[in-house]
């Protein structure tokens, strides 16, 4: 293992681990979804700007202007995914949310094929179909239930995240962390402009949870997940990202005992095993990588 590979593996792993308590913290902070989106946006924008200043130093301001129109697109996609993510967690189980969002890489494959005309090998096509089947299994349980809004929001989150990935790939020569900071500001401004958020409604004894989530964990996570994967193969990144799908619901179950349905367990197992197998095969047979 080279030094760069070890560094990329460590940074990406830490980034994913920092992200795993996110859904638990959303559950623990007792505020409405729009106020949650507002404070996550504000605090994350501040945290990411500090992260950018630490990594870019004197080039901090230029790093924001360098993102260009592609960066604006990244920011908008990030903004919409951030909003839909909170709505999803508030309206369905954490397990459902994270299993559906785990389909993001496969949605990105489809978008890349449509818009970038990238070749999709047979292995990846099978993985796409199997992943969508697993997600459909999870969605089918709530077609007429109260979780429909949350599951739909989770699916939109995955779609916007996949769009984000494709745009970042187009502008891969540019650091897109500033674009995410812009997107965080967009989310906060959007919910504030419509008067949906009530920023002063945060209980005093829970402010520290909000700060931990928005100012520390999210900026560190997204910053590291943006930097680390540049140094390791994409299939390896895919394997590491599955940690959130597994650990996120685990933390919520351990702390507040949130139930995971049989349909979610079955569909989630299909999604996780499919993505893990696809990434493993791609690592073993890199010539077959799309």
pLDDT at 5: 84
Say what the pLDDT of residue 290 is.
44
Give the separation between CA 77 and CA 159, rounded to whole angstroms.
9
Residue-by-residue DSSP string for the chain: --HHHHHHHHHHHHHHHHHTTHHHHHHHS-S-HHHHHHHHHHHHHHHHHHHHHHHHGGGHHHHHHTTHHHHHHHHHHHHHHHHHHHHHHHHS-HHHHHHHHTTHHHHHHHHHHHHS-----HHHHHHHHHHHHHHHHHHHTTTTSTTHHHHHHHHHHHHHHHHHHHHHHHTTTS--HHHHHHHHHHHHHHHHHTT---GGGS-GGGHHHHHIIIIIIHHHHHHHHHHGGGGS-HHHHHHHHHHHHHHHHHHHHHHH-----HHHHHHHHHHHHHHHHHHHHHHH-GGG--
Name residues of the chain where pLDDT drops below 50: 288-290
pLDDT value, residue 98: 96
pLDDT reported for residue 40:
98
pLDDT (tens digit per residue) in 174-183: 989 999 999 9
Residue 146, pLDDT score: 60
Per-residue confidence (pLDDT) for residue 26, from 0 to 100? 97
């Amino acid at each position: 293992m080279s030094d760069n590979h070890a560094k990329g593996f460590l940074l990406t792993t830490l980034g994913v681990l920092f992200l795993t308590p996110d859904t638990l913290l959303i559950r623990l902070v007792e505020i409405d979804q729009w106020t949650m989106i507002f404070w996550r946006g504000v605090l994350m924008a501040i945290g990411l700007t500090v992260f950018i200043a630490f990594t870019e130093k004197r080039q901090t301001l230029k790093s924001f202007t360098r993102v260009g129109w592609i960066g604006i697109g990244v920011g908008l996609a990030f903004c919409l995914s951030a909003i839909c993510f909170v709505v999803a967690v508030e309206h369905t189980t954490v397990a459902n949310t994270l299993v559906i969002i785990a389909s993001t890489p496969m949605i990105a494959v489809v978008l890349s094929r449509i818009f970038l005309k990238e070749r999709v090998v047979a292995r990846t096509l099978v993985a796409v179909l199997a992943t969508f089947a697993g997600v459909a299994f999870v969605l089918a349980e709530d077609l007429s239930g109260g979780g429909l809004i949350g599951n739909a929001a989770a699916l939109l989150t995955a779609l916007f995240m996949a769009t984000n990935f494709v745009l970042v790939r187009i502008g891969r020569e540019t650091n897109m962390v500033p674009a995410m900071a812009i997107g965080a500001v967009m989310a906060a401004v959007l919910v504030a402009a419509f008067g949906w958020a009530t920023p002063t409604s945060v209980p005093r004894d829970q402010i520290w949870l909000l700060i931990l989530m928005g100012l520390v964990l999210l900026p560190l996570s997204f910053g590291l997940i943006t930097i680390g994967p540049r140094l390791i193969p994409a299939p390896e990144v895919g394997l590491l990202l599955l940690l959130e799908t597994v650990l996120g619901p685990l933390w919520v179950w351990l702390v507040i005992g949130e139930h995971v349905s049989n349909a979610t367990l079955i569909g989630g197992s299909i999604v996780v095993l499919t993505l893990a197998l696809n990434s493993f095969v791609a690592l073993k047979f890199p010539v077959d990588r799309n």
